[in-house]
Amino acid sequence: MKVTMKDIAKEANVSTATVSHVINGTKQISEEKHRKIKAIINKYNYVPNSTAKNLRKNKTITAGLVVSSFRDSFISQMVYGVEERAREHGYQILLVNTNEDRNYEEEVISSLHARMVDGVILSPTSSDIGYLNKYTKNDFPTVLVNRYDPVAENTPKVTGDDYQTGFDATLHLLDHGHQKIGVIYAVPNVSTTNERIRGYKDALKKYHLPFNEHYLELGYATVDGGEIAVNSLLEREEDITAVFILNDLMTIGAISKLKELMIKIPEDVAIIGFGDFASAGIIAPPVTNIALPADTIGKTAFDALLNKINNSEYMKHIELPPSMILRKSCGC
């Protein structure tokens, strides 16, 4: 049988109000009663039922974190960042992975909104997030992280600077003399991909080079997906001499495939990957990556959520800059 506040109160010959006050320190209670109540609490190992507390106070001190995948090291680092910051602030995190399922995402947001959670950090599956406004219009605190879309109103955003990411990576390849540069990406119709490609195009423009749509290849965000994607890209566009790959698992797959095909990196085709994974330096050849600070993004997203919870006016789009880690695969 679960012991409740009433039980404690009865045994101490006081009211539940008094017990509540000693637990929460909300009022001065006489030394004597205080001690007695504390003792009984310890004796029964009593912990207040937080569901009841939540109902009464109409908040839960927990935040929802909805991500679109989980295998991705970028995402899991971001989750780590959110978790860490949440802990610092005494918040719990309700984590859900939508697995890129748009409908499930909408369901999840709806149930999180049902007061299970004080606010939500969402990395959406697609740009189709108009449904969010239903909640955000009523000031349900929501922040978009990593991916975003302008349709979402009243939500701060914390993302990487994906435009710059695409621009920098492409420019680097261009500076090395490449002109036919392929791009392998994993998720269409999403700000991360779109912005990186926009950066890619602008870098091309800077060199007065035309944009060729066929240099873009869509694949699955897995090692196998990367193998298939390079293969298909290179078979179709034989003159490509460099490729920018937007996902770490795909980068690994692509390199693996290139080796199998006896295509030399970077001599025959140069590679720049995205997201710095631990082993990048000991791969043959060591791979050049452009990375976004996943855990900082996660932490900042939590900070933004907290701001939003405390001040429903808060609005901002924070974009964190990328950094290149130069190694051999780009021909440096």
Partner DNA sequence: TTGAAAGCGCTAACAG
Partner DNA sequence: CTGTTAGCGCTTTCAA
Q: Which residues bind a second copy (CB under 8 A)?
A: 2, 45, 47-52, 54-55, 60, 62, 65, 70-71, 73, 76-77, 79-80, 83-84, 87, 92-97, 99, 104, 110-111, 113-116, 134, 223, 248-249, 252, 255-256, 259, 277-284
- SS3 state of residue 156: coil
Task: Give dist(CA 305, CA 300) in Å, integer.
Answer: 9
- SS3 state of residue 89: coil
> Does 110 sit near DNA (CB under 7 A)?
no
User: What residue 255 binds from a second copy, DNA, none (CB within 5 to 8 A, per partner kind)?
Assistant: a second copy
Span from 4-12, 65-73, 94-102, 323-331 in contact with DNA (CB under 7 A):
4-12
Q: Which of 11, 38, 44, 53 is close enough to bind DNA by CB under 7 A?
A: 53
Considering the complex, what minimum distance in angstroms separates the CB of residue 286 from DNA?
56
Angle between helix axes 31-44 and 5-12 (nearest 10 degrees) is 130
Angle between helix axes 248-260 and 223-236 (nearest 10 degrees) is 60
Q: How does strand 270-274 pair with strand 242-245?
A: parallel
Task: Give dist(CA 52, CA 42) in Å, integer.
Answer: 20
Q: Which of 6, 89, 134, 206 is close enough to bind DNA by CB under 7 A?
A: 6
> Does 52 sit near DNA (CB under 7 A)?
yes
Q: Are residues 293 and 160 in contact, defined by beta-carbon separation less than 8 angstroms?
A: yes
User: What residue 326 binds from a second copy, DNA, none (CB within 5 to 8 A, per partner kind)?
Assistant: none
> Does 10 sit near DNA (CB under 7 A)?
no
Considering the complex, what minimum distance in angstroms separates the CB of residue 205 from DNA?
55
| Backbone dihedral angles phi then psi of residue 121, each to the nearest 5 degrees | -110, 120
- Burial class (CB within 10 angstroms; exposed 0-12, middle 13-18, buried 19+) of 290: buried
Considering the complex, what minimum distance in angstroms separates the CB of residue 149 from DNA?
30
Which residues in this chain contact DNA in the complex, by CB under 7 A?
Answer: 2, 4-6, 13-18, 20-21, 23-24, 26-30, 32-34, 48-49, 52-53, 55-58
